[in-house]
Structure 1
């Protein structure tokens, strides 16, 4: 290759590197997430603040519902264990009161005993079992509904947060192109801040959405297991009711 061609190529590479270095030095000094947040326009700031609130709400729901679910599952386990040791409804009521039993066990027993008091003394055993089972199902549904309150927020955050972050991305890129058109310059100092703000919105949307989906799935599985424990405790109560009704029929 001729020598003058090598010199021209080397000169071109040197000019490109020098020009890129000058453009990089012209970038804003504070390109941290906090600096980009304060440099963003109002729309992008609103998106970022909303995503931060959503991410904070996700962890608050985890702490509150996680503690409530853990406490409820322990109470359900205690109730099932206690009810399995009883042989009849009066025996179970005595054990629950004497051992300071859980509120769940007392609620299940009181529900059945109330139905026995309301029913006629000569009512058929099948009808009593059906009505008692219906009342138990209503009580279980009430407990589960109380536990699922607030969980839907996690599903909404997991579904909406990525699209909100995408909106911030589109808006930031649009501002970057507007800046290019106004300044009539394509150097890094004009383009990079808007692109960085756009990518920050996308990243924050994923930061809010991914934990929300994971926590929602974890809590949903925990609630399903809690529902199964409630059904197990209710089954023990209905078993004792059936046994007492058989004894009463024989008498």
Structure 2
């Protein structure tokens, strides 16, 4: 009897929970319906006001680029300002990356001369660039961990570990050098569409002004169309240099990668020489016949 009563209570609790869940779902649906109705009412109320507030077409005496911008709608002005800011950011990043890559290549060339002139790891002088210095530190650390190398297998293991860590150093250097270049690619990809959005918005407002003025005179229509097309022109002005700059930075980074690879090769040669010296020092000396 107690077990039957317990099951009955559980079933009742489950039924109450189901009813509460259904009530919550119904309440959510009512909220959603009320929100949709409010949104529809707001759009219906705002649409006539927006149409009535559309700027009337003004025929300036002298149509210049400044008049196009000054007489444009708020949205088109914002689009133009965004495109102008994107163009300024693009030129700033390009100039800074050119200077950074130029200085890095200069330091790398100096380090290559130092590494090429050394015949042992201990005789390498001060390196200017952080990547060859990091490679040299990695090589010395791996040789220190290995201790006295007495077998060829141990020497080969040291070379493999050093080469693997060199790849990590190179990847980090390339990633650091490419930092900011993605902005150039992004600007080159999206700014034409941002300018197109401003053009479409401006042309829509021009048609609204045409309907209000009840005329299709070219002198009346031209200013609105011109300011709309100015947004597209600014988008292209921002996008075309950004694409060219990104390609130039990519080619410059490829040259930096080659210098970095040369530095890794020279340090690896010094490691191999050190391993050979240690192996030669532990090999038995044969007497002359």
Q: Same fold (TM over 0.5)?
A: yes
Match of 2:212 in 1: 182
User: Which whole-Å deviations, capped at 9, do the CAs of 1:99-153 have from their partners, x for residues lacking one?
Assistant: xx31334322112101212234347011000111111111111111111111000
| Conserved 8 A contact 1:27-1:188 | no
Secondary structure at the residue paired with 1:83? Answer: helix
Correspondence for 1:102 among 110, 128, 131: 128
| Conserved 8 A contact 2:104-2:129 | no
Alpha-carbon separation, structure 1, partners of 2:225 and 2:129:
57
Match of 2:202 in 1: 172
1:221 CA displacement: 0.5
Is 1:72 the counterpart of 2:98? The answer is no
Alpha-carbon separation, structure 1, partners of 2:201 and 2:223:
13
Match of 2:19 in 1: none
| Conserved 8 A contact 1:75-1:102 | yes
Superposed counterparts of 1:13-28, under 5 Å: 27-28=59-60
| TM-score (structure 2 length as normaliser) | 0.73
| Conserved 8 A contact 2:108-2:129 | no
Alpha-carbon separation, structure 2, partners of 1:51 and 1:106:
42
Q: CA RMSD in A?
A: 1.5
Match of 2:81 in 1: 49
Q: How many pairs align?
A: 220
| Conserved 8 A contact 2:178-2:253 | yes
| TM-score (structure 1 length as normaliser) | 0.84
Superposed counterparts of 1:139-178, under 5 Å: 139-178=169-208
1:178 CA displacement: 1.1
Secondary structure at the residue paired with 2:59? Answer: coil
| Conserved 8 A contact 1:37-1:45 | yes
Is 1:205 the counterpart of 2:254? The answer is no
Alpha-carbon separation, structure 1, partners of 2:146 and 2:68:
70
Match of 2:148 in 1: 121
Q: Which of 1 and 2 has greater Rg? A: 2
Secondary structure at the residue paired with 2:207? Answer: helix
1:188 CA displacement: 2.7
| Conserved 8 A contact 1:172-1:195 | yes
Alpha-carbon separation, structure 1, partners of 2:256 and 2:188:
24
1:27 CA displacement: 3.0
